[in-house]
C-alpha cells in the first residue's frame, strides 16, 4: 500500500490502495451502462449541481487535505476548492448544450451526441480542480468517465470521489488509482475510451498520444508551457512586478501557465529588477501550514531539478536566492530564485519558484522572442500594447496587464508542444461531443 508523503514534512500522512485488476475490469465493462445512464440531460445537470454543493459544504476539510498532500497554503487550498466548484457549476449550466445544437433542416437531421466514454488523467498541482475541470464537461456532454489521478494527489482524489458517490454520479464516474505502467497503458490503449484528456508534462503527453494512436481516440492535451512575461514601455512597474511575484509563488510556481522567463526592455530593466528582487525577498516560504506566503514544491525530485537548473544558470549570469524561510525547514522548500540569464530556461520549464530575468534592447526584440516560442501555452504582456502586436503571438492564453487568464467560462490550452484541444467554456465541452448527420428521404 503506497504512502502519501507530505511535502511539508517529508513524512507519510496516509496511504492509498491501488485499484485491483478485477475492479479495473469491472469499470471498463460498465462504461456502456454509464453511457446509457447519461442519455438524459437531467441526470447530468442534477448530478453536477449535487457534486458542486457537496464540495462546497466540505470546503474546509478538502482544503486541509490539499494543504497536507501537495503543499498549498490554506488560502490557496480554499481557493482551489472554490475553483473546482466553479467548473462543476458551469458544466451544469451547459448540460443541455448538445440538445440545443441538434436541429432538423429540410430532409436532414443533425444530432449532437456524446463522443463516448472518456479517460481523464489528471495532475497533482491542482489535485481537486484539475479533476473537476475535466469531469464537468465530460458529464455535461454525456460521457461516462474514468479518472486516473496523479500518484501525488491520491488523498485529494479519494476525498473527491467520496463526494461523487454522495452526489449520485457513482455509476458514471470512476476512480482508478495505480502507478503500474501496464495498467496505465491498458487504459490509454483501450478502444472503449473515445476521448482522452491529459494534463501534465510535454514529454509524457507526447508518449500518451503515441500510445493512444492505435485506437484513434480524441485527444485533449494540456502540456507544459515555456511562458514569457514581457515588460514593455508604458508598463506600471509596481503592478507588473507584483503580478509576476504572485504568479510565480502561487502553488510554489507549480503551474503550467506560470511565467518561466521575464524579458524587460532596456530603459525599464533596472527599475523593474529592483522591484522584482525586493518583492521576492519579502516572500516567506516553508511548510504550507505555518503561515507562509509560499509552500514547498511537491517532491524531493522537484527540488533536485530546480537545483540543477540553478547550477546551469549560474554559469551564465547572476543567481539570486531570495525570500525568508520560516516555520521550520520544510521538507521540500525551495527559495524564490531569480536568474539573470535565460540560457538554461529557453528550452526547459522551471516547474517551481524559479524565473529568469533578461534585458532586451526594445519591444521588437521582446515580441520576437515571444513569437518564436514553440511550447506556447501562455504569454503575459505589460505596458501599452497595440492590438497588432498580439497578432503574431499564437498562445492558448494571453494576459495583457494581468495574469488572471483562466476560468470555467474561457477556453485554455496550448499551441505547438504545449498541447492540443481546449478545456473550459463551450470549446472545452465540444471536445466531448460529436455529430451524426441523418438524411431522410
| Residues annotated as catalytic (active site), given as ranges | 222, 256
b/e string for 66-101 if b means 16 or more Cβ within 10 A?
A: bbbbbbbbbebbbbbbebbbbbbbbbbbbbebbeee
Cell triple for 328: 521550520
Q: Which of 49, 54, 79 is nearest to 160 (CA)?
A: 54
**DSSP letter, residue 294:** B
Is the distance from CB of 366 to CB of 327 less than 8 angstroms?
A: no
Q: Which residues have C-beta within 8 Å of that of residue 417, sequence separation ≥ 6?
A: 202, 206, 223, 224, 374, 375
Identify the three-state secondary structure at position 151.
helix
**How far is Cα 6 from Cα 372, in angstroms, rounded to an integer?**
39
Integer Cα distance of 224 and 396 in angstroms = 12
Q: Are strands 354-360 and 378-382 parallel, antiparallel or unpaired?
A: unpaired
Sheet containing 173-175: which strands, arranged edge to edge?
173-175, 145-148, 118-121, 195-199, 218-222, 419-420
| C-beta atoms surrounding 233 within 10 Å | 12
Backbone angles phi, psi at 275, to 5 degrees: -65, -40
Helix 74-93 to helix 41-57 angle, to the nearest 10 degrees?
160
Q: Is 72 helix (H, G, I), strand (E, B) or coil?
A: coil
In 10 A of CB 50, how many CB atoms? Answer: 18
Residue whose cell numbers read 504550507:
288
Burial class, 214, CB count within 10 angstroms (exposed 0-12 / middle 13-18 / buried 19+): exposed
| Of 148, 143, 147, nearest in space to 117 by CA | 143
The answer to whether the CB of 248 falls within 8 A of the CB of 355 is yes
* 157 vs 146: CA distance, rounded Å: 12
Please give the Cα distance from 90 to 425 (Å, whole number).
Answer: 8
Amino acid at each position: 500500500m503506497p504512502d502519501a508523503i507530505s511535502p511539508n514534512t517529508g513524512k507519510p500522512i496516509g496511504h492509498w490502495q491501488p485499484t485491483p485488476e478485477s475492479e479495473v475490469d469491472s469499470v471498463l465493462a460498465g462504461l456502456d451502462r454509464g453511457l446509457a445512464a447519461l442519455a438524459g440531460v437531467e441526470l447530468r445537470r442534477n448530478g453536477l449541481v449535487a457534486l458542486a454543493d457537496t464540495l462546497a459544504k466540505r470546503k474546509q476539510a478538502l482544503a486541509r487535505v490539499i494543504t497536507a498532500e501537495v503543499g498549498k497554503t490554506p488560502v490557496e487550498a480554499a481557493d482551489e476548492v472554490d475553483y473546482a466548484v466553479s467548473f462543476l457549476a458551469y458544466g451544469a449550466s451547459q448540460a443541455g448544450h448538445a440538445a440545443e445544437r441538434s436541429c432538423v433542416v429540410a430532409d436532414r437531421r443533425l444530432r449532437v451526441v456524446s463522443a463516448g466514454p472518456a479517460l481523464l488523467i489528471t495532475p497533482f498541482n491542482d489535485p481537486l480542480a484539475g479533476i473537476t475541470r475535466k469531469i464537468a464537461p465530460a458529464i455535461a456532454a454525456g460521457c461516462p468517465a474514468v479518472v486516473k489521478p496523479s500518484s501525488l494527489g491520491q488523498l485529494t482524489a479519494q476525498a473527491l470521489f467520496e463526494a461523487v458517490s454522495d452526489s449520485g454520479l457513482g455509476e458514471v464516474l470512476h476512480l482508478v488509482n495505480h502507478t503500474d505502467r501496464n495498467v496505465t497503458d491498458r487504459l490509454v490503449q483501450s478502444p472503449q475510451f473515445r476521448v482522452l484528456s491529459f494534463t501534465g508534462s510535454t514529454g509524457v503527453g507526447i508518449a500518451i498520444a503515441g500510445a493512444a494512436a492505435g485506437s484513434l481516440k480524441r485527444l485533449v492535451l494540456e502540456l507544459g508551457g515555456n511562458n514569457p512575461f514581457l515588460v514593455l514601455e508604458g508598463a506600471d512597474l509596481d503592478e507588473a512586478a507584483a503580478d509576476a511575484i504572485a504568479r510565480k509563488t502561487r502553488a510554489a510556481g507549480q503551474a503550467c501557465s506560470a511565467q518561466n522567463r521575464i524579458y524587460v526592455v532596456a530603459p525599464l530593466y533596472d527599475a523593474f529588477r529592483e522591484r522584482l528582487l525586493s518583492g521576492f525577498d519579502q516572500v516567506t516560504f516553508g511548510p504550507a501550514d505555518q503561515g507562509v506566503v509560499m509552500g514547498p514544491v511537491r517532491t524531493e525530485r522537484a527540488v533536485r531539478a530546480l537545483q540543477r537548473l540553478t547550477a546551469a544558470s549560474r554559469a551564465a549570469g547572476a543567481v539570486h536566492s531570495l525570500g525568508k524561510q520560516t516555520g521550520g525547514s520544510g521538507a521540500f522548500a525551495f527559495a524564490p530564485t531569480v536568474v539573470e540569464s535565460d540560457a538554461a530556461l529557453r528550452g526547459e520549464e522551471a516547474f517551481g519558484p524559479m524565473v529568469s530575468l533578461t534585458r532586451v534592447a526594445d519591444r521588437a526584440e521582446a515580441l520576437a522572442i515571444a513569437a518564436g516560442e514553440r511550447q506556447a501555452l501562455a504569454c503575459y504582456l505589460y505596458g501599452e500594447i497595440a492590438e497588432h502586436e498580439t497578432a503574431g503571438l499564437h498562445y492558448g492564453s494571453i494576459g495583457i496587464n494581468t495574469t488572471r487568464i483562466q476560468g470555467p467560462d474561457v477556453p485554455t490550452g496550448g499551441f505547438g508542444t504545449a498541447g492540443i484541444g481546449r478545456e473550459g467554456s463551450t470549446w472545452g465541452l465540444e471536445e466531448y461531443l460529436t455529430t451524426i448527420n441523418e438524411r431522410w428521404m
